[in-house]
Structure 1
Amino acid sequence: MANKEALTRFGVSMPEDLVNQFDQRITQQGYTNRSEAIRDLIRRSLLEPSLMNAAQPVAGTIVLVYDHHMRELPLTLMELQHNYHHDIISTMHIHLNHDQCLEIIVVRGQIHRLRELTNHFHVLKGVLYAELSVTHMDGHDSGTAHEHT
């Protein structure tokens, strides 16, 4: 079992109305105390892709929603994915309705390449949504088998 991290206590001042709204939200989400909710918010903010070091190795997803009736868009999306095949682990394609498709692209690599790929998607006409979500990953090759303890 890993050693527990040392905890640091600090105070935060907020308007009462904001605290009440926060308490309602964290109760709905199942938190039993503010500390863990605040820790999760801080962890999430540290994973903001636009703030990470360009060479940071990460794993995550790119989520796309697009109009598949846009001329050549599906082919352009596929071509982009082929251009970044070293960074793409897997994809899932879902038909949302008659006009829209949802694509979930599982990625792993340096954050600058994944941001670049997401930006390529984002600017295409017919792409309604393109968002990169990541988590930290150490620099070791994660493509090999490993043992869980």
Structure 2
Amino acid sequence: MTVVSVSMPEELLDRLDRFADEHGYTGRSELIREASRNLLGEFEDAQLEDRDLMAVVTVLFNYEETNVEERMMHLRHEHEGLVASNFHSHVGPHYCTEVFVLEGDLESISTFVGKIRATKDTLTVDYSVMPVDEFGPVDELGHVGSE
């Protein structure tokens, strides 16, 4: 691996070190590599066009004060051809998460995420997208990564 020197203010370096310690990173390099991949990934949509994709979308909301859960159910049914899996979980005394696993093209996934982000009263919406063909070849039994 190539070694790269990076200049940054001491305060930022201290924050990175604390974050790495608190979140179990082995060191600064691992943290910087992951942050770099995440940043670059946000701007590589052109590389995702015309490819089979999978996405994981996570939504957090307060179920006692909203009807977000009902709206998530409607979106799941409205996009049943895109939603491969859906998981609902309670988090703490007042919150829920909805996790959607999507399989489709970039436009369909972007539309779905946009509708979730536009849903009033969601607290956070997070997602990641990955081309299915990056998993490696699939053998005759359907096992990924076989040669």
**Rounded Cα–Cα distance in structure 2 between residues aligned with 1:25 and 1:72:** 32
Q: 1:33-63 deviations in whole A, cap 9, x for unaligned?
A: 4222211111222332x65226254323112
| Counterpart for residue 64 of structure 1 | 59
Pair 1:20–1:95, CA change in 2 (3 A): closer
Pair 1:98–1:20, CA change in 2 (3 A): closer
Structure 1 regions of 5+ residues with no counterpart? Answer: 1-6
**Equivalent residues in 2 for 1:23-34, closer than 5 Å:** 23-34=17-28
SS at match of 1:32: coil
| Counterpart for residue 16 of structure 1 | 10
Q: What's the offset of the Cα at 1:90?
A: 0.6
| One-letter amino acid of the counterpart of residue 42, structure 1 | S
Instruction: Name the structure, 1 or 2, with higher relative contact order (CA <8 Å, separation 6+).
Output: 1
**Rounded Cα–Cα distance in structure 1 between residues aligned with 2:111 and 2:90:** 25
Q: 1:16-49 deviations in whole A, cap 9, x for unaligned?
A: 232233223223333334222211111222332x
Pair 1:68–1:136, CA change in 2 (3 A): farther
Q: What's the offset of the Cα at 1:78?
A: 2.8
* Count of aligned residue pairs for this structure pair: 140
| TM-score, normalising length: structure 2 | 0.69
| Counterpart for residue 45 of structure 2 | 52
SS at match of 2:3: coil
| Counterpart for residue 4 of structure 1 | none
Higher mean C-alpha deviation, range 33-42 or range 63-72? 63-72
**Rounded Cα–Cα distance in structure 2 between residues aligned with 1:89 and 1:105:** 8
Larger radius of gyration: 1
Q: What's the offset of the Cα at 1:73?
A: 6.5
Report whether the alignment pairs 1:89 with 2:87: no
| One-letter amino acid of the counterpart of residue 114, structure 1 | I
- Select 2:143's aligned residue among 137, 143, 146: 146
Structure 2 regions of 5+ residues with no counterpart? Answer: none
| TM-score, normalising length: structure 1 | 0.68
| One-letter amino acid of the counterpart of residue 55, structure 2 | G
User: What percentage of aligned pairs have identical amino acids?
Assistant: 25
**Rounded Cα–Cα distance in structure 2 between residues aligned with 1:20 and 1:91:** 39
Pair 1:9–1:129, CA change in 2 (3 A): closer
